[in-house]
Amino acid sequence: MLGCIRGTLLLALLLESAETLKEARCTENSAPVHSPCLDRAHWHNLTRHLGEGIVTSHDESILVGPTAFDKIRSRPFHRCVLKNIFAFYNQALARQGGHYRDLRRFITRLGKCVVRVSWKRWCRKLYQDVRGMPVIETRGEKTLTAKMIAVLQIQKLQRAMEQLGDVKTQDKAIVELKMLEYYLPEGRARKDKAESRDKCDVKVQDKLSRHVMLPGRGRTLTSQQQKRMS
């Protein structure tokens, strides 16, 4: 009799351990695809004195204005544009030698965090449109559609990349880099993360509500575990 009880308790512990592992996987798999990436405090520390003493021209910019960029923030190709921005700044900062090594590492991490494999299909379509579209005039960004803003931004980056050997272009890239903070999808990411956690918590609570007490030990068994033991 005692051996039977011990065997039952051991089986219960094993089944509970399996349930715990399932819940852990639930938490892991429910993590948002777009987790918050920007550590603002660290970003401000790295860019606090960025561009000080650099005088640039007021002609064509490398980045579209934040207001224009807002048009594509909720679109699938948002991260495709960010991918190009990160690639450009990786090259621009590399031209500066070791002066911006920490900032370059930070931007590399941003790129890995923000740009995911699931967006490749959207990016391929956008790049095809860029190749087949004439150069967009930079005047009147407010009148452009979201798709045209995305194409315009990539065209700007392509021109800047071609001129990256010019010191003036390098200086302008450094000065405009501070704006990058306003281009990232951090707000949406936090919302996605909270929603994913809530959904997972609901699943866990639902399973816990079906537990029953195991006599003598204060432990619980789910109805499914009871069926397995019967």
The torsion angle over the Cα atoms of residues 211, 213, 214 and 217, rounded to 10 degrees, is 120
C-alpha dihedral sign at 219, 220, 225, 230: positive
DSSP string over 77-121: THHHHHHHHHHHHHHHHHTTGGGGHHHHHHHHHHHHHH--GGGHH
Point out the least confidently predicted range of 83-92, 158-167, 184-193, 209-218.
Answer: 209-218
The pTM (predicted TM-score) of the whole model is 0.63
Q: Can you tell me whether residue 36 is helix, strand or coil?
A: coil
- C-alpha to C-alpha distance for 69 and 134, rounded to whole angstroms: 20
More confident residue, 203 or 162: 162
The pLDDT of residue 88? 96
Residue 222's DSSP bridge partners are 211
Residue pair 100/93 in contact (Cβ under 8 Å)? The answer is yes
Residue pair 194/186 in contact (Cβ under 8 Å)? The answer is no
Q: What average pLDDT score do residues 12-36 get?
A: 44
The pLDDT of residue 223? 52
Q: What average pLDDT score do residues 177-194 get?
A: 64
In 3D space, the residue among 28, 29, 35, 31 whose CA is nearest the CA of residue 189 turns out to be 35
In 3D space, the residue among 122, 144, 9 whose CA is nearest the CA of residue 70 turns out to be 144
Q: What average pLDDT score do residues 28-35 get?
A: 40
Backbone angles phi, psi at 186, to 5 degrees: -65, -45
